Amino acid sequence: SEGSPAGKHVAVFAFPFATHAAPLLSLVQRIAAASPATAFSFFSTEKSNLACFPGGRGGEGSECPNVMAYDVWDGAPEGYVPSGTNLVEAVEIFLRAVPGNFESVLEAVERERGRKITCLLTDGFYWFAADMARERSVPWVPVWTASPCALLAHMETDSIRQIRGTSDMTLDAIPGLSTMRMMDMIKEIFDTTAPLPTMVYRMGQVLPQAAAVVSNSFGNMDPIVERELRSKLRRFLDVGPFVLSPPPPLSDEHGCIPWLDQQETASVVYVSFGSMIRPPPHEVTALVNALDKAASPFLWSYRSDAEAEVPQALLEKAAAGKRGKVVPWAPQLHVLRHRAVGAFVTHCGWNSVLESMIGGVPMVGRPFFGDQCMNARAVEAGWRIGAAVEGGAFTEEATAAALERVLAGEEKEGMRERAGALKEKALKAVEEPQGSSTKNFEALVEIVTG
Ligand code: U2F
């Protein structure tokens, strides 16, 4: 046990899928560094903890000695073999085990560390933490990892469900979402039965009980959305972009940066679809042809696996004329901050959108699921720092048109200027002592450890 039972003890509940646990842990490590006397217990599944804590379990001798990792059950019955890459199935199995899996380990950890918990810091999804925190009379602080406009949509689900209209009708009646069309809404909002949609619905209902909701965004990024969230939540603390505090060290095993060094300023199209998505082959072909037509050099982070090799056409085009480079993984933040990059073809995952803003790079959006459609719409019609591919999928014509708008058309200068302005705002928010993210982080540390 770690001495004084009066000492502070923060329990952290991670969501062990997609890009959720790692950003939460990096935030926790920052809070832990600011409050060395507070104990932090980080709960996730064994698989997720192995990825997050490559050097062991944290604790004594690690970078953050006051953060320790603990495994919770992933919900899979003994001998269960996951059916390949079906993420939804794994999530649904996990959701059947909450909150019991967290509760049982939490009680054991409180005994082991000799301290009752004094705060519950969780992934934003975990609606059940509202009750757990109330029963223990401790503050609940959920962390939202996607876009603020998606968070607002979850909180406005009841109103959105009542709207009747065509798919291209805008949500004028809902402040903060008036540039969004019905077709941009997160599909889960309209599903009242499946486990994931049920989870985000409950979340939207209980978030107003939280002591504060933390967001991976920065002040004045989306003023009306922020105003609405402030009016609905007890505290809305935007402390992002998380990735700038501190920025990751450059690791460039495929030589992306030296290759970019040889390219002209704002000439290269960077292509990536995040950590989970691989567009279907016919869309890859359409994008390859559109890039060819634009005659732009390109850097493509192509996720392939045993079933889907990198398409031959892509490799040939890349080799011909040395105009393209295809890599399995790129140091994305550093790539987007490189002067040679002129556009980003993206699925509009929230981290990618933020990183593009940090680089001041306009986007071509091809969203796939979840919050991505809202993000793509905000990029095109809200911030006006990019173009969505018409029709919602890569065809040669629609992709060439979107690339043209971003790289050569008359809107190009305006897009670059607005992207540059957002970049300045993001950097000021985190880098300056009076920046909004700096101040909000101080407030967060006080709520969590004070
Ligand atoms: C889910 O998003 P993803 O994880 O699929 O995509 P992003 O939010 O854009 O995050 C991808 C991260 O991976 C990094 C990149 C981002 O930080 O810099 N990366 C890289 O470093 N190198 C590469 O070659 C490719 C990617 C979900 F699908 C979204 O809808 C949500 O918005 C998001 C946040 O909850 O999670």
Whether residue 304 is predicted with pLDDT greater than 90 in this model: the reply is no
Residue 198 alpha carbon to ligand 1 centre in Å: 24
Is the CB of residue 292 below 6 angstroms from any atom belonging to ligand 1? Answer: no
Is the CB of residue 333 below 6 angstroms from any atom belonging to ligand 1? Answer: yes
| Across 99-113, average pLDDT | 97
Residue in 20, 154, 334, 347 annotated catalytic:
20
Residue 353 alpha carbon to ligand 1 centre in Å: 9
ipTM passes above 0.90:
yes
* Residue 416 CA: distances (Å) to CA of 284, 302, 413, 428: 26, 26, 5, 18
Is the CB of residue 329 below 6 angstroms from any atom belonging to ligand 1? Answer: yes
Please answer whether residues 155 and 176 qualify as being in contact, where contact means their C-beta atoms are separated by less than 8 angstroms: no
Please answer whether residues 299 and 271 qualify as being in contact, where contact means their C-beta atoms are separated by less than 8 angstroms: yes
Task: Name every residue whose Cβ is closer than 8 Å to that of residue 105 and which is 6 or more positions away in sequence.
Answer: 43, 70, 71, 72
- Among 275, 310, 355, 372, name the best residue to mutate to test ligand 1's pocket (greatest count of ligand atoms within 8 A of Cβ): 275
Single-letter amino acid code for the residue at 441:
F
What pTM value is reported for the model? Answer: 0.95
DSSP per-residue codes, 243-307: GGSSPPPP--TT-HHHHHHTSPTT-EEEEE-TTT----HHHHHHHHHHHHHHT--EEEE----SS
Which residue, by CA, sits nearest to atom 12 of ligand 1? 274
Residue 138 alpha carbon to ligand 1 centre in Å: 32
| Across 426-445, average pLDDT | 98
Q: Is 20 marked active-site?
A: yes
- Among 187, 352, 363, 371, name the best residue to mutate to test ligand 1's pocket (greatest count of ligand atoms within 8 A of Cβ): 352
Kindly report, residue by residue over 110-157, the tens digit of the pLDDT.
999 999 999 999 999 999 999 999 999 999 999 999 999 999 999 999
Whether residue 317 is predicted with pLDDT greater than 80 in this model: the reply is no
Kindly report, residue by residue over 21-76, the tens digit of the pLDDT.
999 999 999 999 999 999 999 999 999 999 999 988 998 888 899 999 999 999 99
List alpha helices for 56-147, DSSP H.
87-97, 100-113, 129-136
- Among 19, 257, 304, name the best residue to mutate to test ligand 1's pocket (greatest count of ligand atoms within 8 A of Cβ): 19
Is the CB of residue 19 below 6 angstroms from any atom belonging to ligand 1? Answer: yes
Whether residue 323 is predicted with pLDDT greater than 90 in this model: the reply is no
Q: Between 323 and 223, where is the model more confident?
A: 223
- What does the pLDDT read at residue 309? 66
- What does the pLDDT read at residue 278? 87
Q: Which residues on neighbouring strands pair with residue 327, listed in sequence order? A: 301
Could you give the CA distance from residue 330 to residue 327 in angstroms, rounded to a whole number?
Answer: 7
Residue in 9, 74, 123, 347 annotated catalytic:
123
Could you give the CA distance from residue 356 to residue 10 in angstroms, rounded to a whole number?
Answer: 33
Could you give the CA distance from residue 370 to residue 367 in angstroms, rounded to a whole number?
Answer: 9
Please answer whether residues 18 and 48 qualify as being in contact, where contact means their C-beta atoms are separated by less than 8 angstroms: no
Single-letter amino acid code for the residue at 245:
S
Burial class for 34, CB neighbours closer than 10 Å (0-12, 13-18, 19+): middle
pLDDT confidence band for 308 (50 / 70 / 90):
low
Percent of the chain at pLDDT exceeding 70: 95
Q: What is the mean pLDDT of the chain?
A: 94
Q: Is 123 marked active-site?
A: yes
User: Which single residue is written with the structure tokens 């890859």?
Assistant: 284
Whether residue 3 is predicted with pLDDT greater than 60 in this model: the reply is no
Q: Which of 338, 380, 335, 347 is nearest to 362 (CA)?
A: 380
Torsion angle (degrees, nearest 10) of CA 248, 253, 257, 263: -150
| Across 206-220, average pLDDT | 98
Is the CB of residue 371 below 6 angstroms from any atom belonging to ligand 1? Answer: yes
pLDDT confidence band for 283 (50 / 70 / 90):
very high
pLDDT confidence band for 79 (50 / 70 / 90):
confident
Backbone angles phi, psi at 158, to 5 degrees: -60, -45
Residue 349 alpha carbon to ligand 1 centre in Å: 5
Whether residue 296 is predicted with pLDDT greater than 50 in this model: the reply is yes
